[in-house]
Structure 1
Amino acid sequence: MNVEPRRHTFGHVARRLGADKPASRYDEATLDLQPTDNFHYKPLWEPEYWTYDPRKTALKMEDWYKLRDPRQYYYATYNIARANMHQSVERNFAFVDKRDMLDQMDADWRATVADYLLPMRHVAWGANMNMTSICDRGYGTAITAPSIFAAGDHLGMAQILSRIGLMLDNSTGDSLEAAKATWMDSAHWQGLRKAVEDSLVVTDWMELFTAQTLAFDGILHRLVFDRFDAVGQKHGAAGLSMLTEFMIEWRAEHEKWTDAVLKAAAAESPENALMLSGWAKAWIDTVAEAARPLAARVLGEAADASITEIKADIAARCAKIGLAV
């Protein structure tokens, strides 16, 4: 017996698609899920805004659901993708631990790793807070859902870095305590610490999105997990590269989402493009300058050239998505 379905998707999705036709799981888990009307009362915090309010950013969009995720992540697809990546992480940790690969690092480089890599836990914590804030203040499930997924990603990366520290100190936790002291007190980290702390109080969520995904993630991940790691290969740090492979894979897909969101927002109007360009330039310059002392400590004379090249790479990305930096 052939049973014809009475409808192919939810009514609100059909209205968006223009007809009652089969929709993707991503569309059904994303489109128009956020409430827009008939709120009970305004919150006590920031009572000038409704709980969901497009005025929490200076950016203007006719339809906030244009900020789609090209990965089409919703709860199920996101968790399936990350579960697969996590299996690779676990295999790499087991491989490195079984073969004592971290013991093959030069003693001097081991100290350098403790100085530049482990304090990145605190950068990842700041990123987690920022992406959570974007989820809280953002408008439309198309942007808020992948933002909280990204927050979870940064928390996971902080945990990976913590595990590396525990492998380095035989699970005493001493390396993590030392990394916190380095983050709080070492001169070469203070510029980045200030930049992270300044970002925590940015209230315009679209500016914060630009700062976190384009500047912090774009610059620091290239610097730490590409440039610093490449130097480590000369000091027996192949095992460390395996332990941080998650960050390399994550950045590739994270940037697809970042670029898609910023491109759609910039294409909405010249005013949006100008505003996003200003935010991007300001934060790229801020993070690049803040990272320069750390780069100098690890790369020496090659630091300035590395920072310049990374900024040029990001500027090229910006040009492709309609931003001028």
Structure 2
Amino acid sequence: MSFDIKTNVIEPRRHTYAHIAKRLGGDKPATRYQEGTWDLQPTVNFHYRPTWNPEREIYDKSLTAIKMEDWYSFNDPRQLYYGTYTMARHKMMEAEESHFKFIDKSNMMTLMDTEWQQMVRDFLLPLRHFEWGANMNNCDCSDKAYGTAISQVALFAAMDRLGIAQIISRVGLLLDDSTGKSLDQAKADWLDSDRWQGVRKMLEDSFVVEDWFEILVAQNLCMDGVVFPLFYQYFDEAGQAHGGSAMSMLNGFMQDWGKDEKRWLDHLLKVTAAESTENAALLSGWAAKWIDLAIEAFTPIARHVLGDKADEAMTSIRAEITQRAKKSGLDI
């Protein structure tokens, strides 16, 4: 007996959702990023205004001075929606976990000079409080932003900052044999040390900025534009002369994350600035203001770690941020 197995091809009645097809210009196959991003945010039929601020809608374009004809003209170049985001971060964190296990097992932290171990306590551990502030700012942006394309990248960044704060905390526990004393001292430094008060003031001032797009520029372009090269490039290179190879391994997550952040942020600024001269002027003004504040705030820490090489490093960092801003259409 023989069987004749035939294959029937069933054509789908449609390839994607109606609102996606409208943007694609017809019923065409869409990517998962497009289906998981475009027009997900409700725009009509709100039942009530927010009880905490009845002057605004739940989703409100007027919460920023930036004006866009279509808030979905920005698309994340990384194509991250929740599924791909969690997979990407899981892969990054797997590598970081392996570094922690290897360093702990081989006791590599003890290979660092005693003076440099103290230096790491001075410059890195208080930064976990800055990372908490970065989480707050990105959460605020995600809450107030208009359109899923922007609100989701801000929320992804917010969650990442908690992860970075945890990594920094674990570095402290490696340094003090899990007693937690180094983290207590880091909190005291954040609250009382003179060299951290400029950073603390700048961060706390950003908490009360009303315009969410200004917060995004202040945090992700200006403050982060200083922090990631300064702490994870210049400070890391300085540590090589003091047996700091363990810290170089642990800095890997932050180094990779900083590059990843630039991709979506620079593209968002470019799309927004290209929309109108008014947008470009607003972005340029915010960037110029917060770059100056960030450079001034972090200079005392740079001088504490780098000594007479600090000013050169800060000049280079300012030039890098300025170049990125200009490529995105800002004039600063």
Matched with 1:194 is 201
Aligned positions of 1:226-305 closer than 5 A = 226-305=233-312
For the residues of structure 2 that align with 1:272 and 1:178, how far apart are their CA atoms? Answer: 43
For the residues of structure 2 that align with 1:118 and 1:255, how far apart are their CA atoms? Answer: 24
User: 1:167 is matched with which residue: 163, 174, 177?
Assistant: 174
Aligned positions of 1:31-70 closer than 5 A = 31-70=38-77
Aligned positions of 1:44-193 closer than 5 A = 44-193=51-200
Task: After superposition, give the CA deviation of every residue in 1:240-267 in whole Å (9 maximum; x if it has no partner).
Answer: 1101110000111110111000000000
For the residues of structure 2 that align with 1:91 and 1:199, how far apart are their CA atoms? Answer: 35
1:219 aligns with 2:226: yes
Task: Report the TM-score, using the length of structure 1 for normalisation.
Answer: 0.99
After TM superposition, give the deviation of residue 130 of structure 1 in Å.
0.6
* Displaced runs of 4 or more, over 3 A: none
Task: Report the TM-score, using the length of structure 2 for normalisation.
Answer: 0.97
User: 2:316 is matched with which residue: 300, 303, 309?
Assistant: 309
Secondary structure class of the residue paired with 1:135: helix
After TM superposition, give the deviation of residue 48 of structure 1 in Å.
1.3
Secondary structure class of the residue paired with 2:47: coil
Task: After superposition, give the CA deviation of every residue in 1:190-233 in whole Å (9 maximum; x if it has no partner).
Answer: 00000111111112111011111101111111111111111001
Task: After superposition, give the CA deviation of every residue in 1:28-67 in whole Å (9 maximum; x if it has no partner).
Answer: 0000000111100111222111010000000000000112
* Bigger Rg, structure 1 or 2: 2
For the residues of structure 2 that align with 1:16 and 1:49, how far apart are their CA atoms? Answer: 28
Letter in 2 for 1:232: G
1:15 aligns with 2:22: yes
Letter in 1 for 2:205: D
- Where structure 1 has 5 or more consecutive residues not aligned to the other structure, the ranges are none
Task: After superposition, give the CA deviation of every residue in 1:70-102 in whole Å (9 maximum; x if it has no partner).
Answer: 001000000010000011001111111121111
- Where structure 2 has 5 or more consecutive residues not aligned to the other structure, the ranges are 1-7
For the residues of structure 2 that align with 1:66 and 1:123, how far apart are their CA atoms? Answer: 31
For the residues of structure 2 that align with 1:14 and 1:313, how far apart are their CA atoms? Answer: 40
After TM superposition, give the deviation of residue 69 of structure 1 in Å.
0.6
